[in-house]
Amino acid sequence: MINFWLVMILIGVLTFATRISFIVMLDRWQTPTVIRRALRFVPVSVLTAIFVPELLMPAGAIDISGNNLRVFAGILAMLVAWKTRSVGWTIVAGMAALLLMQWFV
């Protein structure tokens, strides 16, 4: 689909523009402090806004019943991420928990 290629190329160009932005123009423009401070919260806010609905509303509506195994696996993964700070272990623990529960429940 042509449309999607266009989307991809535009995002690529915009991403490259943010990456090169200050490398080429640092001398000319000082970042306003508020933007500098705001940027720090971008990854945490965006990523959390993505994964929380994935856990709480896997079928598109809020499901916090015992049937929603992703909530339990997600909480376990958060504990593992907190203790190990490792992407690998967090994925292994969360997937293992989900698959085991799917098997036995």
Partner 1 sequence: MWREFLSGVRGELPILVGVVPFGMIYGILALGAGMSATEAQAMSAIVFAGSAQFMLVQLVELGTPALVMILTGFVINLRHALYSASIAPYTRHLSLPWKTIVAYLLTDEAYAVVITYFRKGSEYKHRHWYFLGAGLALWSSWQISSAVGIFLGARVPPEWSLDFTLALTFIALVIPALEDRPSVLAAIAAGVAAVLAFGLPYKLGLLVAALVGIVVGLWGESR
For position 85 contacting partner 1 by CB under 8 A, the verdict is: yes
Nearest 5°: phi and psi at 19?
Answer: -70, -35
Q: Which 21-50 residues touch partner 1, going by CB under 8 A?
A: 21-24, 26-27, 31, 34, 36-50
For position 14 contacting partner 1 by CB under 8 A, the verdict is: yes
Q: How many CB atoms lie within 10 A of CB 54?
A: 10
User: What is the size of the binding site for partner 1 (CB under 8 A)?
Assistant: 66
- What region does 85 belong to: left with phi over 0, alpha with psi -120 to 50, or beta? left
For position 96 contacting partner 1 by CB under 8 A, the verdict is: no
Q: In whole angstroms, give the CA distance from residue 12 to residue 71.
A: 34
For position 88 contacting partner 1 by CB under 8 A, the verdict is: yes
DSSP symbols for 38-54: HHTTHHHHHHHHHHHHH
Q: Nearest approach, Cβ of 105 to partner 1 (angstroms)?
A: 13
Q: In whole angstroms, give the CA distance from residue 89 to residue 60.
A: 28
Q: Interface residues with partner 1 (CB under 8 A)?
A: 3-12, 14-16, 18-24, 26-27, 31, 34, 36-57, 60, 62, 70, 73-74, 77-78, 81-82, 85-88, 90-91, 94-95, 98-99, 102
